[in-house]
Amino acid sequence: MAPLNCFCTTKHEVTATRKRTDSLTPDQRRRAMQSNRGRTKPERRVASALWRSGFRFLSSEGYRTLSGRRFLGSPDLILVRQRCVIFVDGCFWHGCQKCHDFRKDLSPSWQEKIRANVLRDRRNRARLRSSGWTVLVVREHNLTSEARFAREIRRVIERIARNSPVSRSRYPGLNS
């Protein structure tokens, strides 16, 4: 197997530089993606840290169950009392340029899919902000080490409390 216009020396480096192709048909991929309903590990970690800090929230599914309506953009956490939504974005699916070089790593069809995700995210978040919601985005790469995780959770808690109609004194973790 010859490298594709690269100066790679190992088999692993050669395969890493090839464009990724999808082994599933578009219909199979769509069904596979629709069946992903569970929370990811980063979502669970953020939710757990916020719950331990005294914040109460709903998931998009919980909101739909209680209200009978979908929440715009399907945020991962909805803090109704604070009018705040939190999106815990995986770096790949949400187009993080810090973690991926999509032009180099992906085929044009996958690049378009990621680009569409990014545009949809921007549109939904702008609509939420214009409706009076505070929108917070937590990127997966900000949760990689314990120090980064703690810093990111602190930032999220401060933003929620700063923009919340609920008193800051209600959240004891903010005074330290």
Q: Output the pLDDT for position 12.
A: 43
* Rg, Å, the chain Cα set: 19
Listed by start position, the domains of the chain span 45-55+104-164
Whole-number Å distance between alpha carbons of 33 and 26: 10
Q: Output the pLDDT for position 143.
A: 87
Query: pLDDT by residue (tens digit) across 135-156?
Result: 999 998 888 899 999 999 999 9
Q: Which residue has the tokens 């020396």?
A: 9
Per-residue confidence in pLDDT tens, the chain, 176 aa:
443 333 333 444 444 445 567 788 888 877 777 766 668 889 999 999 999 999 999 998 899 989 889 999 999 999 999 999 999 988 877 777 788 787 787 888 888 888 998 999 999 999 999 999 999 999 988 888 999 999 999 999 999 988 776 644 454 455 44
Q: Output the pLDDT for position 98.
A: 81
Task: Tell me the three state secondary structure of residue 109.
Answer: helix
Q: Output the pLDDT for position 36.
A: 66
From residue 50, alpha-carbon distances to 34, 93, 171 in Å are 27, 24, 11
Contact 87, 137 (CB under 8 A): yes
Q: Which residues pair with 48 in a beta bridge?
A: none
Residue 99 corresponds to which tokens in the numbers above?
């973690």
Q: 78: closest CA among 65, 91, 95? A: 65
Q: What is the pTM of this model?
A: 0.72
Angle between helices 146-163 and 41-52 (to 10 degrees): 60
